Structure 1
Amino acid sequence: MNICVFCSAADLDEVYTAAAREFAELIGKRGHALVWGGSDVGLMKVVADGVQGAGGRLIGVSVEFLQHKARAETDDMIIARDLAERKALMLQHADAVVVMVGGTGTLDEATDILELKKHGMHRKPVVVLNTAGFYDGLQQQMLRMDAERFLPVPLTDLVTFAADAQEAITALGG
């Protein structure tokens, strides 16, 4: 299975890097491939290192203006023209999507993927790895959207929130 991970390129606290490393090792040990933003910095590097170190494949999708931060040691590196094309290529190469902690870029990627799923543009599982309750607010907001009928499909058909790496990999069936 090709698992797309959206996450931060920032250097983060150990509570987040440890959870990312644990999930990455589960990807690699199970023989899955990582599809990620291609960067060799921050949490993106932690995830790529973990997958590669556990024997998994790396499929990077970088973007022209960030190409200088792209990881050299990958199984495949794709360079997109812009961020919109990168998101589309990442989804195209993925069988499932996991959203880890991140900033506005990660939130943009997550909402875009969920919007496409809501409209039936893909049926891939989407899991939010809610490390240390980082996405509690988002989960609460989405529960309210569901309860007040802003979503045309049940929230459980769109996304699964997972508290830890094992719960996330289980939700993906992998």
Structure 2
Amino acid sequence: MHSICVYCGSSAGAAPLYAQAARALASEMVSDNIALVYGGGNVGLMGIIADEVLRLGGEATGVIPRALLDKEVGHLGLTRLHIVKDMHERKAMMADLSDGFIAMPGGIGTLEELFEVFTWSQLGLHDKPIGLLNVGGFYDGLISFMQHIVAERFLRPEQAALLLTEATPAALVERFKSYQPDHLNKWTLPAGSIYP
């Protein structure tokens, strides 16, 4: 585990605990010599986690589309900042540079990035760990909805289990370090074995 892509808000959110969790995640990653890959912004949780990684002596790589460089206030003090043409190139590069993916609290963009890599995992396009950092129960509703999707048989329990969930950065990073992919994807099980 050399690098983790962190998806998070360009806002700091309503509660101080989100920023605290961003700094705690930065600390866990740096102490384990894990580099940060993220969206390249200098505002909100994006800026907080990048600044903390850098302050602690770690590496932070940002990937930002040229059109968002000003809107998200591109972070010019990173170890590396890749300026790309669009969101598709951004997400592809972030995925290529990362050994795993963590979604912190964030908005629609964070969810879109999370579910794209989750879909890629379900389809067997990668076998990297994906996690929700469920700070203060932020993702409780999403976790409940995932259980509903499984109950309604649009997702197998084994596929839902690909999304690791922990309330603290330490616990989630530890699970990433010991992660063993099972190479299960949407198309590999024999007919008739899709659901229990």
TM range, normalised to the smaller chain? over 0.9
Contact 1:60/1:78 (<8 A) preserved: yes
Contact 2:41/2:74 (<8 A) preserved: yes
Tell me the amino acid that sits aligned with residue 6 of structure 2: V
**TM-score of the superposed pair, with normalisation by structure 2:** 0.84
Q: Hey, what does 1:11 align to over in structure 2?
A: 12
Please state if 1:109 is matched with 2:113: yes
Partner Cα separation in structure 1 for residue 160 and residue 112 of structure 2: 20
User: How many residues were matched structurally?
Assistant: 174
Question: Which structure's residues are more often helix, by fraction?
Answer: 1
Q: Which runs of 5+ in 2 are unaligned?
A: 179-196
2:58 to 50, 56, 59: 56
Q: Which has the larger radius of gyration?
A: 2
Partner Cα separation in structure 2 for residue 31 and residue 64 of structure 1: 29
Q: Secondary structure at the match of 2:20?
A: helix
Q: How does 1:1-174 map to 2 (within 5 A)?
A: 1-12=2-13, 13-68=15-70, 69-152=73-156, 154-155=158-159, 157-173=161-177
Q: CA RMSD in A?
A: 1.5
Contact 2:146/2:160 (<8 A) preserved: no
1:149 CA drift (Å): 2.6
Tell me the amino acid that sits aligned with residue 7 of structure 1: C
1:144 CA drift (Å): 2.1
1:156 CA drift (Å): 5.0
Q: Secondary structure at the match of 1:10?
A: coil
**TM-score of the superposed pair, with normalisation by structure 1:** 0.94
Partner Cα separation in structure 1 for residue 96 and residue 150 of structure 2: 27
1:99 CA drift (Å): 0.3
